[in-house]
Structure 1
Amino acid sequence: MPTPAAPRPSSCPPDHALGLLIRTAHALRHWWPRHPASAPPTRQVQLLALAALLDEAVDAQPVADWAVAACGEPGPVPRAAAQDAGLQISVYHRLMVRLRAMHLDEDVTLLGERASRLLAYHEWILHQAVNLAFTAQPDPRIEDARLRLNGLGKPAVDLRELRDEVRACAEQVCCEGSAP
């Protein structure tokens, strides 16, 4: 059985290799010019961005509500309901991702957290509707749960109210900023 070969010595001394790495790291670190950090968005901009996101969420509600209700109807579920539910799951997921990427001040964060919970509910109920409507193993308990689905419910109203509240806050901040 052959014996393992001893490691080869490096062609350059260890001090030289270390110096080369340090110089390379220094050159790479200063390769791109540094840009000054941009100022964080103002409270008004944050509220307007949150309101625009909530507008999109509210605009998607009628289709989502129909898809959930259609999944809860007795009998076979229309293919269009499943397709619409899948599309609306994507819509609400993308809105959640955008909301998480927003930089919000402390007072606006509370509104963002409420929005996050309501968007998560919308995404969750759509998932549940599709899972209950298209289960692989029919069960009377699953069918009973499916038949209780009748739409988005009170969280849809809460989302619209939150959107209106954020809009009102944004308008108030706009008016305060323009007053002398």
Structure 2
Amino acid sequence: MTGNISLTSMDAASDLPQSKNQFAAILQGEILVETRSHSAWGGAVTAQMYLPLGRSHVWQQLTDYPRWVQYFPDVRRSEVLNTKDGLTQGCKRLYQVADKSFLFLSLQVEVYLNVLEVSGQRIQFLLEKGTFADFTADLQLQDCSMGTLLTYTVQATPLIPVPSVFIEQAMKLELPANMRTMRRVICGNC
């Protein structure tokens, strides 16, 4: 990659409705989830949760990428690699390995990601190479009430052809569980 890396827009984060009931549910600890198809063999999901901590504290926790093994139980390894020549400021390379079980398959997933950061606001993960045909994730932080609203959007297509409806269902179940774990680790008892 060269120095002209830029954040791409992912529209799903702004499409999740925010009615009064949903806002109240988020503040009480619910995780709102919306899935959609991404490709014939992929899926996409957007999840939102509230963290009763300031955005700068949440940012510090999220950008400690080796700690992601605590947030996502399937992730066995998460490490920041040496920065590639030409990457712009706020960009990192990340290597992650996870064990995934899907239907009757058990797979090891390996990805090299370019990580683009807008300090305190947004982290975008872009697939460089790995065991996906495509993968992007976008994590956004916003001040909300007395804490932080975290919106996490993931879209992926595995190399193994699996109908998107199954991928979407797996994402719909897995991402909220991972986000609950993330909240527990970041907040302690909150």
- Higher fraction of strand: 2
TM-score, L = length of structure 1: 0.24
Q: Larger RCO: Structure 1 or Structure 2 (Cα < 8 Å, ≥ 6 residues apart)?
A: 1
- Higher fraction of helix: 1
